[in-house]
């Protein structure tokens, strides 16, 4: 979707409000522009355009933060671009120090790599089938951290949360929903940094520690932020005698960032770290100690499986002749990802069966295809049985027991 007209309108309104000294309104419009720019960046044509729009989003978000903090001497606003993509981003961000945005022309590859991880996820709690107890646990951790403290009482909040469990159980979806639940006092959602750790380590191994510092620097500037570190065991496996210098630097830098040394005592900065792993027992003990909350993301139970199936079938317009209780029993032991694969296998095979003429229409030309309406039918038991034979659960009872045993042996 092309958001550029809306972005341009929001930026122009922000500048107009700024000139009228209506700083609260200006901040709101800059927040709107930042959100739209992040959404547009995800569909941008090419890496350069994606980075450019994410840079603008960070810049406009920084303007909003500074205006709300009472800093109204932002000279670059008058000269800033109008949101149409013509001008280069400004070099100023909130704080102006470590992690401040540099002019695009002289920007480091590491900073561009950090911006690539910014994601505008639409996932909300209601979009995740089941896991109600897990969602309540996460919401409680957020609430304790973000709510007002009692008079004369200091509570320790949660700024580092570890998700662990079998592959495909929804750890990434839960992190995305959490990021959308974290808002500032004006209702602006957090910036979501979705970091696939294994790719970062392999591509930037010699500079991984610098990349981590850059990541958290940008996250602090963009506060409130959620940093999601997926495949976390790739970044900090248990230490042994074969550990190299770069690995030690990575671990040392990460420990410092998880301790939040650069934001202690600052109520205006909130960075939540969520790490996800399929192998929690492989993590370094010092790293584990930094996570105040460790949450097992289990395989979905019977009720959750039915809800996930409804999301992938019923909510997408497919009608089933088989009740969802039967389908839930059929998918016992499946992860959420495997249920998604199962549903896709069922629907794709039905659609292929009902539309055998499509390859011939392709040969006849685009106009013939456009005139054709895809045919569907109700899903029958045989469709599900065929898919069940092709999609097998990967998590065994023994491996699930290993997660439960680790949970029992680990104190939050």
pLDDT digits (tens, 9 = 90+) for 312-344: 999 999 999 999 999 999 999 999 999 999 999
CA–CA–CA angle 11, 13, 16 (5° rounding): 110
**Which one, of 368, 117, 308, 74, lies nearest residue 227 by Cα?**
117
- The domain segmentation of the chain, as residue ranges, is 4-98, 125-299+405-409, 302-393
Topology annotation, domain 302-393: Helicase, Ruva Protein; domain 3 (1.10.8)
pTM of the shown model: 0.78
- Tens digits of per-residue pLDDT, 24-41? 888 888 888 888 888 887
Q: Could you check whether the bond before residue 381 is cis, i.e. omega within 30 degrees of 0? A: no
CATH of domain 125-299+405-409: 3.40.50.300
**Which one, of 96, 108, 39, lies nearest residue 221 by Cα?**
96
Q: Tell me if 125-299+405-409 shares its fold with 302-393.
A: no
114, 214 contact by CB (below 8 A): yes
pLDDT means per 10 residues in the chain (412 residues)?
83 89 88 83 73 84 83 72 47 37 53 83 86 89 82 82 94 92 74 86 75 88 89 74 65 85 62 93 89 92 94 95 96 96 96 94 90 95 96 93 91 60
Work out whether strand 271-277 and strand 293-296 pair parallel, antiparallel, or are unpaired: unpaired
Longest dimension (CA), the chain: 77
Beta-carbon neighbour count of residue 234 at 10 Å? 18
Beta-carbon neighbour count of residue 108 at 10 Å? 13
């Amino acid at each position: 979707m092309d958001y550029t007209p809306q972005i341009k309108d929001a930026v122009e309104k922000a500048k107009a409000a700024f000139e009228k000294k209506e700083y609260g309104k200006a901040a709101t419009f800059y927040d709107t522009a930042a959100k739209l720019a992040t959404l547009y960046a995800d569909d941008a044509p090419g890496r350069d355009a994606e980075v450019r729009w994410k840079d603008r989003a960070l810049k406009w978000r920084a303007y909003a933060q500074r205006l709300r903090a009472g800093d109204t001497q932002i000279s670059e606003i008058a000269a800033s671009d109008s949101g149409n993509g013509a001008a280069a981003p400004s070099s100023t961000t909130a704080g102006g120090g470590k992690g401040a945005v540099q002019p695009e022309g002289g920007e480091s590859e590491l900073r561009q790599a950090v911006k690539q991880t910014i994601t505008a996820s639409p996932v909300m709690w209601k979009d995740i089938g089941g896991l109600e107890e897990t969602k309540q646990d996460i919401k409680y951790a957020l609430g304790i951290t973000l709510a007002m403290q009692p008079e004369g009482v200091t509570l320790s909040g949660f700024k580092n949360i570890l998700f662990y469990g079998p592959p495909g159980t929804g750890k990434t979806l839960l992190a995305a929903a959490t990021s959308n639940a974290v808002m500032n006092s004006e209702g602006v959602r957090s910036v979501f940094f979705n970091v696939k750790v294994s790719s970062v380590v392999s591509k930037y191994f010699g500079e991984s520690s610098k990349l981590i510092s850059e990541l958290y620097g940008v996250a602090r500037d963009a506060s409130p932020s959620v940093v999601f570190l997926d495949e976390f065991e790739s970044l900090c496996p248990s230490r042994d005698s074969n550990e190299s210098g770069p690995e030690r630097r990575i671990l040392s830098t990460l420990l410092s960032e998880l301790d939040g040394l650069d934001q202690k005592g600052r109520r205006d900065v909130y960075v939540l770290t969520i790490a996800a792993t399929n192998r929690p027992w492989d993590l370094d003990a010092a790293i584990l100690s930094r996570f105040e909350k460790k949450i097992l993301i289990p395989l979905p139970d019977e009720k959750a499986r039915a809800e996930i199936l409804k999301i992938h079938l019923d909510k997408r317009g497919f009608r089933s002749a088989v009740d969802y209780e039967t389908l839930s029993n059929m998918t016992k032991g499946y992860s959420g990802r495997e249920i998604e694969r199962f549903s896709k296998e069922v629907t794709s095979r039905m659609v292929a069966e009902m539309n055998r003429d499509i390859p011939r229409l392709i040969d006849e030309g685009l106009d013939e295809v456009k005139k054709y309406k895809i045919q569907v039918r109700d899903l029958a038991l045989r469709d599900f049985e065929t898919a069940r034979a092709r999609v097998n659960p990967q998590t065994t009872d023994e491996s699930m027991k290993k997660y439960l045993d680790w949970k029992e042996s680990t104190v939050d």
